[in-house]
Structure 1
Amino acid sequence: MTHKDKNHLWQERLQQQKDSGSTINDWCAQHQLSVPTFYYWQKKLATPKKQSKSIIVPLPTLTPQSPIIIETPTGYRVSVSNESVLDLLPQLLKMLP
Structure 2
Amino acid sequence: MQLWQERLKQQKNSGMTIAAWCEQNQITQSQFYYWQKKLTVSSHEPDSVIVPLSMPSFPMALVIETPCGYRISVNDASAMALMPQLIRCLP
Structure 2 residue ranges without an equivalent (≥5): 55-76, 86-91
TM-score normalised by length of structure 2: 0.53
The structure that has the greater radius of gyration is 1
Stretches (4+) displaced over 3 A = none
Structure 2 residue corresponding to 1:20, chosen from 11, 14, 26: 14
String of CA shifts for 1:46-92, please: whole Å, max 9, x gaps.
Answer: 221154222223xxxxxxxxxxx5222747xxxxxxxxxxxxxxxxx
DSSP 3-state at the match of 1:11 = helix
Q: How many residues align?
A: 60
Q: Cα RMSD (Å) of the superposition?
A: 2.4
TM-score normalised by length of structure 1: 0.50
Structure 1 residue corresponding to 2:3, chosen from 4, 9, 28: 9
- Which residue number in structure 2 is paired with residue 49 of structure 1? 45
Structure 1 residue ranges without an equivalent (≥5): 1-6, 58-68, 76-95
Q: Report which stretch shifted further, 39-48 or 12-21.
A: 39-48
In the superposition, relative to structure 1, how do residues 11 and 54 fare at CA in structure 2: closer, same or farther (>3 Å)? same
**Residue identity (%):** 42
